[in-house]
């Protein structure tokens, strides 16, 4: 499965402006690990600092969040199947007109041992 999804939104044209490419803001700090052993996940995100306008290059919503494995030492000898968390809510649209994007993420709720 995927960790992120993207949908196009607010596609109506904006009047009389030059194209402007999207620019990302800084990454947040990494979150705490979701598990103390057997493999968890930590996350960090960033938001659009300047949204693409009037045909400018959009930021790839798939690059708005990162996940990394953490605490991978086994804590229980029994195996478990990997499970996804529920999807987080959709973000706001990155633009009010001219074709923006919104995204949502999910994580690994239980990693395979």
Per-residue pLDDT reduced to its tens digit, 35-85: 888 788 899 999 999 888 777 888 888 788 999 999 888 775 555 667 788
pLDDT value of position 76: 59
pLDDT value of position 80: 62
CA 3/CA 106 separation, integer angstroms: 5
CA 16/CA 34 separation, integer angstroms: 47
Contacts of 7 (CB under 8 A, 6+ apart): 90, 101, 102
Predicted TM-score (pTM) of the model is 0.48
Instruction: Please provide the average confidence, as pLDDT, over all residues in the chain.
Output: 82
Contacts of 47 (CB under 8 A, 6+ apart): 24, 25, 64
Asked whether the predicted pLDDT for residue 113 surpasses 60, the reply is no
pLDDT value of position 30: 93
6 beta partners: 103
CA 95/CA 91 separation, integer angstroms: 11
């Amino acid at each position: 499965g995927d960790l992120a999804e993207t949908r196009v939104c607010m596609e109506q044209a904006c009047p009389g402006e030059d194209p402007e490419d999207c620019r990302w803001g800084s990454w947040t700090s990494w979150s705490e690990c979701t598990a103390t052993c057997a493999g968890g996940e930590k996350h960090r995100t960033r938001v659009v600092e300047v949204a693409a306008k009037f045909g400018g290059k959009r930021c790839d919503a798939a690059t708005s969040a990162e996940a990394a494995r953490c605490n991978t030492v086994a804590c229980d000898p029994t195996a478990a199947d990997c499970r996804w968390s529920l999807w987080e809510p959709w973000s706001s649209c990155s633009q009010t007109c001219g074709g923006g994007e919104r995204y949502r993420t999910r994580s690994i709720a239980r990693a395979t041992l």
